[in-house]
């Protein structure tokens, strides 16, 4: 008989955490690992903006250590609204903006606000934690298996057969774990589906869209970020954005996130957070408000930051494609956005030291042991257990180690005699 709650007994442990713990132990023993698992930044490589750091220190020196307002400092909510208007051209009032300690409490409170037990939650895989949030809220999982042909992004055609009766549609672009984006035309089609469905429902419970754009400032080349409200202004009443400074400014540990959307939804999310207490610290809120209003400093930082990220993504992508051209069973999707590269390493069924790599978990372990390469399989993000695709994160990547890492990977592939 269970001694704890049903939720506690049925929560699924994080594959990423398990892999991270294993890597930490091996590194502590002096082993060299190319750790591209964590969706985080090495502050020695990617520090937060100096202006933000200085403002945080000043805020603490000015004794800003008391409770913040439940919905966040007014000046920060105003700064966020200004930042979003400048960057995306959409307007939100301060009472339509909610501040919290990063994106996670906002996502959790949004699920709790929208999803009743048994309500259908529609999301594609691979994707970050939608499966866990659906489970924690007793929702009905409605899962779309996205494909490499569509850069692992859901399409309107994928969504359409499942949209009837859904309470929440989860979209993330640029996406974790794939680093890919929703194209304008496809997002327009998805918005039209939502609008048509809500019109059909009349006065009944509406379908809302959680639009996670935590990486929206980090797009490369000709890739552009689009959002539902810019494309279809009517979507404003059904869209709740998840955003913050964590990825845009390499500030994952600073814990300042924000959500914006319909005032009545934001108000209920605020009420939930008031009981959870997952507020962003007062000093960090004050500093972020000041920093976001320094528009030239923000633009300068993003230009430099994106250049460094893009160089790493393309260097690794080009290396993987070079291995593919040599005949190895690897592939990659060209960098589009975020800090992730989608790569394919299709080794299941091959033999290593007389033992067959029976499944993708064993392939992952082989890569860690033989290539010293730690990457996260897509099945950790809800995809099929036998998917040969991986997330490679470059937030801790040193440029001078990329060639060395690729050489180790080729050596591990050679050992399997996988050349065609």
Length of the chain: 420
User: Looking at residue 419, what is its pLDDT?
Assistant: 45
Indicate the SS3 state at residue 107. helix
Name every residue whose Cβ is closer than 8 Å to that of residue 369 and which is 6 or more positions away in sequence. Answer: none
Query: For the domain 6-46+299-415, what is the CATH code?
Result: 3.90.1150.10
> How far apart are alpha carbons 283 and 147 in whole angstroms?
43
User: Looking at residue 1, what is its pLDDT?
Assistant: 56
User: Looking at residue 17, what is its pLDDT?
Assistant: 77
User: Looking at residue 76, what is its pLDDT?
Assistant: 98
Domain ranges within the chain, ordered by starting residue: 6-46+299-415, 51-293
User: Looking at residue 139, what is its pLDDT?
Assistant: 97
Instruction: Say which CATH class 51-293 falls into.
Output: alpha beta
Classify the C-alpha dihedral 33-37-41-45 as positive or negative: positive
- pLDDT tens by residue, 329-383: 999 999 999 999 999 999 999 988 788 899 999 999 999 999 999 999 999 999 9
* pTM, full prediction: 0.96
Average pLDDT of the chain to the nearest whole number: 95
pLDDT less than 70: residues of the chain: 1-2, 417-420
- pLDDT tens by residue, 149-194: 999 999 999 999 999 999 999 999 999 999 999 999 999 999 999 9
CB 171 within 8 A of CB 211: yes
Pairing of strands 257-260, 373-374: unpaired
User: Looking at residue 40, what is its pLDDT?
Assistant: 94
> How far apart are alpha carbons 8 and 129 in whole angstroms?
16
Q: At what angle do helices 74-88 and 282-292 cross, to 10 degrees?
A: 40
User: Looking at residue 418, what is its pLDDT?
Assistant: 47
> How far apart are alpha carbons 197 and 238 in whole angstroms?
11
- Both tokens of 313, joined, read 């993504």
């Amino acid at each position: 008989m269970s001694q704890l709650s049903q939720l506690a007994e049925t929560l699924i442990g994080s594959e990423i955490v398990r892999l991270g713990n294993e890597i930490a132990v091996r590194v502590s023993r002096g082993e060299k690992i190319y750790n591209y698992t964590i969706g985080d930044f090495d502050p020695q490589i990617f520090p937060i903006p100096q202006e933000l750091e200085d403002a945080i220190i000043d805020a603490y020196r000015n004794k800003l250590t008391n409770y913040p307002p439940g919905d966040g400092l007014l000046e920060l909510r105003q700064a966020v609204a200004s930042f979003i208007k400048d960057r995306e051209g959409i307007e939100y009032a301060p009472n339509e903006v909610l501040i919290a300690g990063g994106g996670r409490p906002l996502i959790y409170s949004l699920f709790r606000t929208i999803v009743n037990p048994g309500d259908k939650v529609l999301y594609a895989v691979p994707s970050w934690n939608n499966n866990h949030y659906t489970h924690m809220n007793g929702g009905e999982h409605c899962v779309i298996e996205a494909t490499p042909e569509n850069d692992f992004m859901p399409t309107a055609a994928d969504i359409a057969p499942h949209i009837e009766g859904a309470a929440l549609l989860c979209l993330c672009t640029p996406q974790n774990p794939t680093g890919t984006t929703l194209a304008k035309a496809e997002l327009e089609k998805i918005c039209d589906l939502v609008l048509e469905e809500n019109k059909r429902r009349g006065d009944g419970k509406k379908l809302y869209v959680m639009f996670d754009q935590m990486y929206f400032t980090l797009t490369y080349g000709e890739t552009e970020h689009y959002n539902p409200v810019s494309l279809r202004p009517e979507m404003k009443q059904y869209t709740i954005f998840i955003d913050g400074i964590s990825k845009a400014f390499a500030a994952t540990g600073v814990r300042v996130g924000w959500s914006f959307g319909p005032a009545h939804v934001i108000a209920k999310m605020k009420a939930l957070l008031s009981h959870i207490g997952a507020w962003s610290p007062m000093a960090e809120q004050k500093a972020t408000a000041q920093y976001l209003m320094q528009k030239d400093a923000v633009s300068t930082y993003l230009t430099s930051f994106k250049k460094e990220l893009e160089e790493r993504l393309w260097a690794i992508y080009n290396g993987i494609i070079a291995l593919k051209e040599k005949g190895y069973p690897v592939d990659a999707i060209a960098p589009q956005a975020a800090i992730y590269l989608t790569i394919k390493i299709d080794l299941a069924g091959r033999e290593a030291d007389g033992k067959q790599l029976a499944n993708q978990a064993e392939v992952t372990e082989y890569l860690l042991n033989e290539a010293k390469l730690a990457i996260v399989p897509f099945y950790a993000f809800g995809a099929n257990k036998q998917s040969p695709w991986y997330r490679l994160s470059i937030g801790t990547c040193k440029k001078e180690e990329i060639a060395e890492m690729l050489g180790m990977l080729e050596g591990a592939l050679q050992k399997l005699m996988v050349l065609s």
